[in-house]
Amino acid sequence: MAESAQYSPIQLAEIKDAFIAKRDVVCPICGGRMTARPIGGGSFGLGYSRKREWLICGGCHRSAIFDFKRGTRN
């Protein structure tokens, strides 16, 4: 059976916990190091902004995006 292209909810929680704790984030699928890229967002004049991080695995190229201000994934 082929591997899923997406992380499971448990794997996403592991990634997020490691990032918040400022530990090295390791891909739970391939063990590769994940790098973070900040993503700006929100619309000017609407009174909100978003603090999102895009974590990308250097090995298998899977990724996850977290919205830390809202506390959600996506």
The total number of residues written for the chain in this structure: 74
Q: What percent of the chain is predicted at pLDDT more than 90? A: 58
Dihedrals φ, ψ of 4, to 5°? -75, 145
Question: What predicted TM-score, i.e. pTM, was given to this entire model?
Answer: 0.76
* Each residue's pLDDT tens digit, 3-32: 678 899 999 999 999 999 999 999 999 999
Paired with 54 in beta bridges are 37, 65
pLDDT range class, residue 1, cuts 50, 70, 90:
very low
- With beta carbons less than 8 A apart as the criterion, state whether 37 and 54 touch: yes
What does the block give as tokens for 6? 């997406």
Candidate from 27-31, 33-37, 40-44 with smallest mean pLDDT: 40-44
Instruction: State the pLDDT at residue 30.
Output: 95
Identify the CA nearest to 49 among candidates 39, 64, 35, 57. 39
